[in-house]
């Protein structure tokens, strides 16, 4: 059994012996079939050897970044591209996002059946008191036009600029009515909660989530022919279920709830959620294996695989939730999916050694460390930088 010394949440250091049994990775070949649509919001791999200013510049390792998307496709998962998991708005600007989308779409075209959708927002618009609703509309149109020109499908991201410019729900209705009337294909609307991005507090014109939901549902159901589905990221199973039951019949609910995804995907007698999740980046083999069990009507097997991942996910997405990307990239490093633990903007520094140590324990217990010995060796390297030897 592999053991190492880890920081403890109560202070000090303690010995930890790995006990988890790694999930078997599927053999290359035909991707598994699911009865849910499942996207993983994918992270990016930076080039740690670039001679730049990491807080200011974007140096992306395109080979490893696209290889990670191929890994997700091999597992039967779709790729939600250039979303917040890819540090959109936290290190990745619009030009970098467009380059990412271009590379990912080109890779997807070489793989028949590869599922991919791309985030379109307004993040190139510097919001200020002078920002108008027309500015927001034009910003959305710019990004949508660029993505559609590449053949991409749209995930309509929430807009920080809209929260600044809007004076009430009617302004949200005006923006979404205009944009949805123009898109080529049905889109996925993303309602990202303020726990993920504080700048989005009050989205849909209200700080009351239930009042905001009224506005969002009305917009979606009024444009049912232009909306594939909606992803909500409010970390509330109750709110998601309530909203799911209010959607028009053909509109999908994509869970963005990284706390309660297992129960929401399994569903109940009145319906279920599909998935568009950042945690599926980190636990992709477990997600794939569990969804395959669900497709075989083995709900017990589905929960047996996913249940141990929930404590890990809740830890990765703990408050401040916007720093969850650090845990996602750290787990990719532990699992050998990239050779370093560096991120855009130096975001690897947003979580403590204590946090990363607990992440390591929970990943072991969830069986999502692909090679425990390698993961332990890499954990030791990170700890050594912090003075734990």
How confident is the model over 112-160, as pLDDT tens digits? 999 999 999 999 999 898 999 999 999 999 999 999 999 999 999 999 9
Q: Is the per-residue pLDDT at 26 higher than 90? A: no
pLDDT at 69: 98
* Angle value at C-alpha 150, between 148 and 155, nearest 5 degrees: 45
How confident is the model over 314-324, as pLDDT tens digits? 999 999 999 99
Task: Give the residue extent of every domain in the chain.
Answer: 29-307
pLDDT at 153: 98
pLDDT at 21: 86
How confident is the model over 262-274, as pLDDT tens digits? 999 999 999 999 9
Host H or E run for residue 189? strand 187-192
**What's the whole-number mean pLDDT along residues 29-37?**
86
pLDDT at 32: 85
**What's the whole-number mean pLDDT along residues 357-363?**
98
Whose CA is closest to 226, among 250, 253, 254?
A: 250
pLDDT at 389: 84
Domain 29-307: top CATH class? alpha beta
* Coil vs helix vs strand at 251: coil
pLDDT at 29: 66
Burial of 244 (0-12, 13-18, 19+ CB in 10 A): buried
Greatest Cα-to-Cα distance within the chain, rounded to the nearest angstrom = 62
How confident is the model over 36-66, as pLDDT tens digits? 999 999 999 999 999 999 888 899 999 999 9
How confident is the model over 169-227, as pLDDT tens digits? 999 999 999 999 999 999 999 999 999 999 999 999 999 999 999 999 999 999 999 99
pTM here is: 0.96
**Could you tell me the pLDDT band of residue 10, with boundaries at 50, 70 and 90?**
confident
């Amino acid at each position: 059994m592999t053991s190492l010394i880890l920081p403890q949440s109560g202070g000090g250091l303690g010995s930890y012996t790995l006990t988890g049994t790694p999930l078997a990775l599927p053999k290359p070949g035909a991707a598994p079939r699911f009865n849910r649509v499942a996207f993983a919001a994918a992270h990016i791999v930076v080039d740690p050897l670039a001679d730049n200013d990491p807080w200011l510049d974007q140096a992306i390792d395109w080979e490893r970044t696209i290889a990670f998307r191929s890994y997700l496709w091999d597992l039967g998962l779709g790729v939600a591209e250039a979303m917040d998991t890819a540090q959109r708005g936290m290190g990745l600007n619009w030009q970098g996002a467009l380059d990412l989308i271009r590379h990912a779409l080109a890779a997807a075209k070489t793989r028949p059946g590869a599922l991919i959708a791309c985030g379109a927002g307004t993040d190139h618009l510097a919001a200020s008191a002078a920002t108008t609703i027309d500015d927001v509309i034009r910003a959305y149109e710019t990004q949508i036009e660029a993505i559609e020109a590449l053949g991409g499908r749209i995930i309509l991201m929430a807009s920080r600029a809209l929260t600044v410019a809007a004076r009430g729900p009617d302004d949200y209705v005006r923006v979404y009515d205009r944009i949805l009337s123009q898109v080529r294909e049905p889109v996925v609307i993303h309602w990202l909660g303020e726990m993920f991005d504080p700048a989005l507090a009050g989205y849909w014109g209200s700080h009351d989530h239930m009042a905001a939901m009224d506005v969002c549902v009305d917009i979606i159901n009024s444009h049912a022919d232009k909306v594939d589905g909606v992803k909500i990221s409010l970390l509330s199973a109750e709110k998601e279920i309530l909203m799911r039951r209010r959607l028009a019949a053909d509109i999908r609910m994509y869970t963005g709830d990284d706390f309660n995804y297992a129960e929401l995907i399994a569903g109940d007698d009145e319906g279920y959620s599909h998935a568009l999740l950042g945690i599926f980046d980190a636990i992709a083999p477990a997600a794939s294996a569990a969804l395959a069990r669900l497709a075989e009507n083995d709900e017990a097997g589905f929960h047996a695989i996913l249940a141990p991942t929930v404590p890990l996910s809740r830890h990765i997405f703990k408050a401040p939730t916007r720093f969850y990307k650090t845990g996602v990239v750290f787990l990719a490093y532990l699992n050998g999916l990239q050779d370093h633990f560096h991120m855009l903007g130096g975001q690897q520094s947003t979580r403590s050694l204590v946090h990363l140590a607990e992440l390591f324990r929970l990943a072991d217990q969830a069986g999502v460390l692909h090679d425990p010995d390698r993961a332990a060796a890499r954990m030791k390297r990170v700890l050594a930088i912090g003075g734990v030897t």
